[in-house]
Homo-oligomer: A and B are copies of this chain.
Amino acid sequence: MEADWTDETKGAVESHGKYISAIYRHMQILIAAELAPYRIGSGQYIFLMAIAGQEKITQKALSEDLLIDKTTTAKAIAKLEAEGYVRREADPADNRYQLLYLTEAGRAVVPKVQEGLNRVKSIARRGISDEEYAFMLVLLKKVLRNVSE
Contacts and interface: CB of A to CB of B under 8 A. Distances in A.
B137 A19 contact: yes
Contacts of A142: 126-128
A17 B12 contact: no
Contact of A9 (B26, B49, B126, B135): B49
B52 A9 contact: yes
A66 B21 CA distance: 10
A57 interface: no
B117 A146 contact: no
A9 B147 contact: no
Contacts of A9: 49, 52-53, 110, 114
B144 A19 contact: yes
A46 B13 contact: yes
Given A16-B136, A52-B6, A26 B141 contact: no
Interface in A10-32: 10, 12-27, 30-31
